Structure 1
Amino acid sequence: MRAHAPSLVLTAALALASMATSACKESGNDYYAEGLRLLGEAERGDCKLGFDRASGQQVINAERVRTCLEKTKAGLEQLQKARELGVDHREMSDLIEKTELEVERLEKMYKMVSRMQGQKNFEDLPGT
């Protein structure tokens, strides 16, 4: 029994060293969680239309669309980084595809709303 003690100690030491090393590595799951958080924040906040009580209508402006676009792109970047780090499943692929389409839609919306507001710099899309 005593002859195995050094090998158990060595095995335990190697396991602890391995855990310490892996704790410092980037985790795809962390990027995935951050991407989901950013997309959720955007959906619940920045991407919601405003409501004008005086007119009783939903309102939108270029700055609000731009903020929504920036947050959505940030979420997409986190999801893509998670995929690069090995988090790749059907739900992830579907979410990335859906978010890429949403980014395209928001870019078009930003240009249109900017034109409607008479802004000259609507080509300056965030992140482009």
Structure 2
Amino acid sequence: MSGTGPAEVAAGSALPPMSVRVTRADLVRYAGAALDFNPIHWNEKTADEVGLPGVIAHGMLTMAIAGRLVTDWLGDPGALLEYGARFIRPVVVPNDETGALVELSGKIREVREDGTARVDVTATFEGKAVLGKAVAIVRLPA
């Protein structure tokens, strides 16, 4: 937790931004962990045949990366009570060492009387949102 941590939360506060690079090697590791071997996540030809702009990251991987913004800020993954998002645009992962850059930010939308807060998360790739309605409900430290 650098800068503003959960102890200093107020509606409108921003979480520290984060940038994460996703490479094809990350896609392979995620596929193995999630048992999601859909070829759109590793095969250019298949991705092209189904109309994608290239090999894309797994939506759930993108969502997990965005969730990390919140759990890193909290310092306690167990304080993440709810988390949901819509997949609105794919993250295209080039076949190189650099990969795709996913940029993350978050804002405290509401601090509740019950000791929880709503965090709105933004995840972008090439300047465009890749998740919609990404919302986390967190338990704040006492």
TM range (shorter): under 0.3
- Higher Cα radius of gyration: 1
Larger RCO: Structure 1 or Structure 2 (Cα < 8 Å, ≥ 6 residues apart)? 2
Higher helix share: 1
TM-score, normalised with respect to structure 2: 0.24
TM-score, normalised with respect to structure 1: 0.26
